[in-house]
Structure 1
Amino acid sequence: MVSNSPHTALTDRSSAATAQAILQRSVWAARAYADFDAAAVSRIVSRVVAVAESKAGHYAEWAVRETGFGVVEHKRLKNIACSRGLLDAYTDSDFVTPRLQPDAKIVEIPRPAGVVLALTPSTNPVSSVYFKTILALMTRNSIVICPHPRARECCIDAANTLAEAAVAAGAPDGVIQVIEHPSIPLLNTLMADARTSVILATGGGDMVRSAYRSGNPALGVGPANVPVLVDRTADIKAAAERIVDSKSFDNSILCTNESVLIVERAVSDELSNQLRHQGAHILKPDERDRIRATVFPDTHFDARYVGRSADYIAEAAGLRVPSGTKILVAPFDLIVPEEPLAHEKLCPVLGYTTVPTADDGIAAARSLLRITGAGHSAAIHSNDAETVLKFSTQMPVYRVSVNVGNSLGSAGFHTNLAPTMTIGTGFFGRSSLGENLQPAHLVHWSRIAYNADATVAFPNFGSLTLPRPIEGPTPPYPLPSNDAGHGLPAETMAADRGDAALRAELRRLIFEELTDMMRS
């Protein structure tokens, strides 16, 4: 059992009362953090990243033990990518300092979202906690993390660890909170509350749709079903290696994993041989049928096989496969909705079909995306620029990875796309986000625009400093004297009661709450 901490939101009250306590504290932290300057934000983010990176292996092992999903070493790599890798990717970005455009006579002021409500999945639990928390800190937002129940304990511990690091580096109390006992009523209350500024929804379709229906801004994702075209111009050996490595990465638990391999017939035999050399087992027709029946009983994907190894799935189907098998390749003929293998598979089972020409492959890939996965991603292995362009323009997706494994290619870790754990599916996939989630999506810019007439002066804003720099430690969250403190130490509460400035801040917050209630 995870022990309570000052950053863990307890749920021993009603959902409404709990949501009230969580959001009030988060709003306070967001308002305080919005005044931090770039140097202070950088210090906090750097400290949190260092702690997250140091615990990457610890939480990788914990996540696999708690959920039963994935591969420890691969989760460790994802945790590093979503901490140190994320900081490195945005090391030259500034989401805090006002921007000047003297020629256009415009000043741009960064405006953080405020309170971020982050829903994290069981498939990529701690890497999602890392990713969303660091994005929120980079942009001066507070964050409330609601973990998936199946990955609750590792996520709670990880969030509390990051929160302690942030506060130690000078961040406001409550800038990172985590819900210890997530429930549907509590989550619905948090999502619908006007104090929630934006919802980052990563998870099942029902949960994402609930976020969109909440009435608050939501950045969600859609399902994947990645088609991969290999044409006759591809480097077949390299393509086979990349595909097997990608499909087997973390036992295919990333939504960007390859779903169906569409191969130009002229190179099918060569590719099959190379896939075998890389650790793929090509299923015979009777073996394929047994795998299909096991993974898709009643034609629906069985969640018991999410993130399980190829050996585990083969054994469940009553098959014996060569030692060291990384993925199971299941050949089939027609890409139609009635074929279960043409649907998304969050496990190392890869559909395989052949086509006469690359153009036929493009048509087949479009058929796959009509079943599911529109807006998400696709991949192609080809050395013909014309084919790559034709494939890319005809796929209803927002990411096309070329000559790279799609699991980490479309996620931005093996390409120069924005590194992310949240893949927006845009107009095609009925999502509000059509690109990889990144810090820029959690900050908007107010623009001061002067008269364009050359005779109207534009002042020198270069000497102004906005926001004000923070000096010294940030005071703790102000609590009333009769509040149990949600686990805060007594000396912290005593300091709260003795600080006149904090009492004034608390009175202001209460006044604003009463004003909002009267308006509603």
Structure 2
Amino acid sequence: MAETTDDTTPGLSPHRAAQMVEKARWAAASYATYSRREVMRVAEAVAGAAAREARRYADWAVEETGFGNADHKELKNRLCSTGLLEHYRDHDYVDFRVEPDTKTVAIPKPAGVIFALTPSTNPVCSVFYKTLIALMTRNAIVISPHPAAKACCADAARLIARAAEEAGAPDGIVQVIDEPSLPIIDAIMTSDRIDLILATGGTPMVRAAYSSGNPAIGVGPGNNPAYVDESADVAKAAERIAGSKAFDNSILCTNESAVIAHSAIAGRLASELARQGCHMLSEEERDRLEEHLFPNGKFNISLLGRPATAIAESAGIRVPRNTRVLLVPLERIGDDYRLSREKLAPVLGFYEVASREAALTAAKAMVRRSGAGHSAAIHTQDEAVVLRFAAELPVLRVAVNVGCSTGAAGFDTWLAPTMTIGTGYFGRSSVSENVGPQHLVQWTRIAYNKADDVAFGSYGGLSLPEPATRPRLPEGRIDYSFDWVGGRASAIAGEAPRPAPPSATDTDMDALKAEIRQLIAEELRAIRRGEA
């Protein structure tokens, strides 16, 4: 559960941060022995609890951060709870797999303790998403929310921690840092008691994760081009692009940064975009907006995820009240041209090209400085165009005839649904696909001699042995909570300790808790001595 210090300064002390990690290690060791049925029961309880509160946390996130669209955040919260669970329901990351054709057996093993950093742009949905993929793979997770969204994220983490525990998960399987600070984040990130860092956020934070000395999955920034070909259904392309760029006020890193329009359809496309609530600025208004968006060459953070009308008003530009997206005609595309950079706001570049060759050149220029390995969108009926763009652009997702925001994120395509976009070696990332539970589990492979005269074993009816050295929850609910940081033993504030089921006596439980306390005490003493 969430932890705070008892002194006047909010946040964790290094000592209590170490205790939190050790609590997670015990929980992970216990949870690693669960059956798939027990794991899915926990995941279903967490997804259901998250979905039931999707709207409340959407409103809270908008209120706390000051940006985004509550309706769209509610949708993301649902997609990253029950939607995510349904996508992976038939995936098994618990049972061993037998492959007679290759004479191999694969045994899944969880990563262990995951340290998850979540962004302000997609706050609560990222908490739901990262927790669920951790739980489906039998991992413990410690969440560090962005300071700009710490209240809603911490509350959401506590909600799903309770749901997990009530469904049978060990206490400490989900924890959150209420008051994130750089020293504490650095201490946990560099701790050798963390098994994996799952980082979503700005480039400096992702680089810090990779340089921590621990295994890490981080992602790079996007700057996604959307090419509309002469063969495209122009009306549908405009509808999809406008809806995508306006989604959650363009806060997703998968949103379109600029439209690249073939000259044969550029005029029609501009008209159709106008019908979809995209207001084209004049050159004078464009230049004024550029200075407002990028003062001193850097993006104006106060405009992050703000509505198009609010951005226009703050720049002294008059636009219709129904404007969803500010459409800006680009003079060119280049590293030094600010309006061709990523814009996490409903401001969309519009660049006309004379040919497909010119379109490809422009798209390459967009992702040269920022956006490599990320995403691109293309609207066309010509598969040869799709194939060439996908082959030549240094991106790892090409969304076809769909909005890039939810298309590249896997919610309107069959890509894996995610809030963490792997950008691969192009984007200096360790993962080249949409991050999912498959990245939080590792496999031990049993491999038989491939010679025909060596028989493959018969594994039918066998099950993995249960470790005897770690506690495991039976069908009933045993409360494994105890005094970790000087507080009450109960896992949930204000709740009396839950009784053990009839199958376990009070004497048995007292002995078990004493044994666990002894194990943790020895581990913590080792940490203080620098021996662990």
Q: If the length of structure 2 is used for normalisation, what is the TM-score?
A: 0.93
Instruction: Tell me which amino acid in the other structure corresponds to 2:338.
Output: P
Matched letter for residue 504 of structure 1: E
Q: Does 1:66 align with 2:64?
A: yes
Matched, 1:8 2:8: no
The Cα of 1:10 is off from its aligned counterpart by: 1.7
Q: What is the CA–CA distance in structure 2 between the aligned matches of 1:478 and 1:470, rounded to whole Å?
A: 13
- TM superposition shift of 1:289: 1.2
CA contact (8 A) 1:174 1:477 kept: no
Deviations 1:39-81 (A, max 9, x none): 0011111111111111111100010011111001000000000
Matching of residue 501 in structure 1 with residue 512 in structure 2: yes
- Corresponding residue of 2:469: none
Counterpart position of 2:474: 471
Asked if residue 292 in structure 1 is aligned to residue 266 in structure 2, the reply is no
**SS state at 2:327 partner:** strand
> How do residues 229-240 of structure 1 correspond to structure 2 at under 5 angstroms?
229-240=227-238
- Correspondences of 1:337-348 after superposition (within 5 Å): 337-348=335-346
Taking the aligned partners of 2:76 and 2:195, their CA distance within structure 1 comes to: 27
Q: What is the correspondence of 1:45-444 to structure 2 with a 5 Å cutoff?
A: 45-444=43-442
Alpha-carbon distance between aligned partners in 2 of 1:385 and 1:456, rounded to the nearest angstrom:
48
Match of 1:454 in 2: 452
Distance change (3 Å), C-alpha of 1:482 and 1:79: closer
The whole-number CA distance in structure 1 between the counterparts of 2:174 and 2:114 is 10
Structure 2 residue aligned with 1:4? none
CA contact under 8 A between 1:411 and 1:421: conserved in structure 2? yes
Three-state SS of the structure 2 residue aligned to 1:408 is helix
* 1:371–1:482 Cα change, 3 Å: closer
Q: Secondary structure at the match of 1:245?
A: helix
Structure 1 residue 140: deviation in Å? 0.4
Residues 15, 189 of structure 1: 8 Å contact kept: no
Q: Matched residues in 2 for 1:108 and 1:147: separation?
A: 35
Query: Residues 71-121 of structure 1, C-alpha deviation per residue, up to 9 Å, x if partnerless?
Result: 010000000000111011111101111111233222211100000111011
Tell me if structure 2 keeps the 8 A contact 1:335–1:342.
yes
Question: How far, CA to CA, are the matches of 1:127 and 1:432 in structure 2?
Answer: 23
How far is 1:328 from its partner?
0.5
Q: Which stretches in structure 2 are left out of the alignment for 5+ residues?
A: 467-471, 501-505
Residue ranges of structure 1 left out of the alignment (5+ in a row): 1-6
Mean Cα displacement is larger for which, 457-466 or 444-453?
Answer: 457-466
Post-superposition Cα deviations, 1:289-313, rounded to whole Å, max 9, x if no partner, equal: 1111111112211010000000000
Counterpart-to-counterpart distance in 2, 1:44 and 1:163:
10
The alignment's C-alpha RMSD in Å is 2.1
Counterpart Cα distance in 1 of 2:106 and 2:431:
23
Alpha-carbon separation, structure 1, partners of 2:477 and 2:199: 30
Structure 1 residue 318: Cα displacement: 0.8
Contact kept, 8 Å, 2:261 with 2:353, in 1: the verdict is: yes
> Contact 1:478–1:503 (CA<8 Å) still a contact in 2?
no
- State the match for 1:3 in structure 2: none
Matched-pair identity in % = 49
Give 1:453 deviation, angstroms: 3.0
Cα deviation, residue 457, structure 1:
3.8
The residue type equivalent to 1:471 in the other structure is P
1:483 and 2:483 aligned: no
Q: What is the alpha-carbon distance in structure 1 between the residues aligned to residue 17 and residue 310 of structure 2?
A: 41
Q: How far, CA to CA, are the matches of 1:197 and 1:310 in structure 2? A: 42
Structure 1 pair 451/514, CA: closer, same or farther in 2 (3 Å)? farther
Conserved? CA contact 1:116–1:198, under 8 Å: yes
- Give 1:491 deviation, angstroms: 5.4
